[in-house]
Amino acid sequence: MAKKVLGVQNSDGRVATTEGIAELQHQESLIKTGALQNAIFNSANFSSIATDENGVVQLFNVGAERMLGYLAVEVVNKITPVDISDPQELITRSIALGLEFATAIAPGFEALVFKASRGIEDIYELTYIRKDNSRFPAMLSVTALRNDQEGIIGYLLIGTDNTARKQAEDKLRWAEESFRLMVESVTDYAIVMLDPEGCVVSWNSSAERIQGYRAEDIVGQHFSRFYLAEDVVNGKAQSDMEKVRANGRFEDEGWRVRKDGSSFWANVIYTAIRDQFGNLRGFAKLTRDQTENRQVESALIDAKSAAEKANRAKSDFLSSMSHELRSPLNAILGFAQLMESDSPSPTPSQAANIKQILQGGWYLLDLIDEILDLAVIESGRLALSLESVSISEVMIECQAMIEPQAQKRGIRMTFPQRSFDNFVKVDRTRFKQILINLLSNAIKYNRTDGTVVVACATIAPERIRISVTDTGVGLSAEKQAQMFQSFNRLGQEAGAEEGTGIGLVVTKRLVELMGGEIGVESTIGVGSVFWIELTAAASPQSVTGITESTPVVQVHVHNDVPLRTLLYVEDNQANLSWSSS
């Protein structure tokens, strides 16, 4: 029978037969397989070591040369893979496998190929030793090579350098260990990691101490176990979790439950944990036992309330006693004044005694007035009538009252120019009391032939500063810190000047009640500057000419009732404006 001829021509023009094509394909396959094998065995990316059935190296590729530092001619038919591996690891592996061996080489090699010789593909970690004795971790795959009768003729060991992976693992392990140690070192907070469903994943030792559960008892339990039963029923636990999901963070304070059923006041912070794609991976829950702090705060509140109650009682007592002392003191001063002006005139000795009575009486009256002011202020019963007040007008009144006192001591006073006619929002009477007190102190504690300078300045659109500068001995930083303490005269108790140590305290309280500030700047041997800052105000409408513009109120009276004139005295500008309208 004739051969079937295909219509395919070779390069030389001959027609190829079916057998010829098959042979050609077989040759091409062999060439391709050979090329692949050559590429594999000459790859520099991994080591390929083939041994005979006894473990003696028969093939050592380029990758093995690069990885281990040997040339193929140095190892082929000369060594086994045991010679380039950590022997202790192989012996340990052999013992674990229960292998018995008679030679130094066999046991280690048997450990390498134990599973492969039984048809089990094995991949494990191994420490390779380079020619220069340096070591590195390797991942090793061992395969048994068999002939057509399934007999083992050798083994193929394919290895890769595992250094980078081991370093990454070590770094991750170090980071995890560091994080664990950091979490464990936090003693104030119970740190709990929750999965996306709110179940406990991890639990630090502080959580065990604060909430009473051991980690093995609580891992896998839902976080709502830590809430009061009623909070679980009314949905608070679920509501808190929804807030964390929505906002990423939620902080709460409330009662929580320990394992033994006791409750404690806790500060709890929830934080949602998400990956780089925004997917929820779980939650971090930090709990701090605030029971003791809450008890301390409650005790402080109770103590503060008791102190305020005692302070109010003290203020009421001082106010009552001041009134009780004022009446007999006025009588003493009145009779002393009568005796001073009596006829015939008192003898010189009597006049001196009367002068002592009057001097002590007036001092005591001043003290009572200041104590009464302080008591009223501290009791919160001081009524202020804030209005727009001319600084210039009040300064003129203060100057008229204080200059005679300054002239007696030879002290020159300088007041602001009357062109500075700004207004401040204050209670006029108390504003005048503040200025008189600062001016009196500037004179009282000044040196002979000293000066007192009063200045006003606008330091902000709605703020005016009034300062009183003296040329006294000055104050140390320590004394400045004690300046506004009640009954503290800063070492002047034994001095010639009388005082109570209350005036500046009252002044400070009054300034602050009117929305202002007070301060002092002082230099030893130079003098002191006391300043107050008050809120600026607009100029009030003028009330001059009221008689001409205001109609007279007609009062209808009976014919037989005589007419009377009413004298109305008012020092409050706002009330004066109201009464004239």
Assign residue 261 a region: left if phi > 0, alpha if psi is -120 to 50, beta otherwise?
A: left
Report d(CA 460, CA 455) in Å as an integer.
16
Per-residue pLDDT tens over the stretch 273-309: 898 888 898 898 888 888 888 888 888 888 888 877 7
Strand extents, DSSP E, 448-566: 451-460, 463-470, 517-523, 527-537
Measured between alpha carbons, how far is 293 from 473 in angstroms, rounded to an integer? 48
What's the pLDDT at 552? 47
- 519: tokens are 């301060």
Structure letter (DSSP) for residue 565: -
pLDDT, tens digit, 9 for 90 and up, residues 431-486: 998 998 899 889 988 888 899 999 999 888 889 999 999 998 888 888 888 777 77
Q: Which two tokens stand for residue 554?
A: 């007609």
pLDDT (tens digit, 9 = 90+) per residue, 404-424? 888 888 899 998 876 667 899
Indicate the angle between helix axes 291-340 and 348-378, nearest 10 degrees. Answer: 150
> In this predicted structure, what is the pLDDT of residue 113?
83
Residues 73 and 104: beta-carbon distance below 8 Å? no
Which runs of E-coded beta strand occur in 315-410? 387-390
For the four alpha carbons of 29, 33, 34 and 36, in that order, the dihedral sign comes to positive
Q: How many residues does the chain have?
A: 581
Spans of the chain, pLDDT less than 50 = 1-7, 102-105, 542-552, 574, 578-579, 581
Dihedral over Cα of 440, 442, 446, 450: its sign = negative
DSSP label at 223?
A: G
pLDDT of residue 103: 46
Q: Given this model, what pLDDT does residue 5 score? A: 46
Q: Are 509 and 522 in contact (CB under 8 A)?
A: no
- Distance between CA atoms of residues 550 and 222, nearest Å: 82
| Bridge pairing between strands 527-537 and 423-426 | antiparallel
Helix (H) or strand (E) run with residue 581 in it: none
Q: Which helix (H) or strand (E) holds 443?
A: helix 428-444
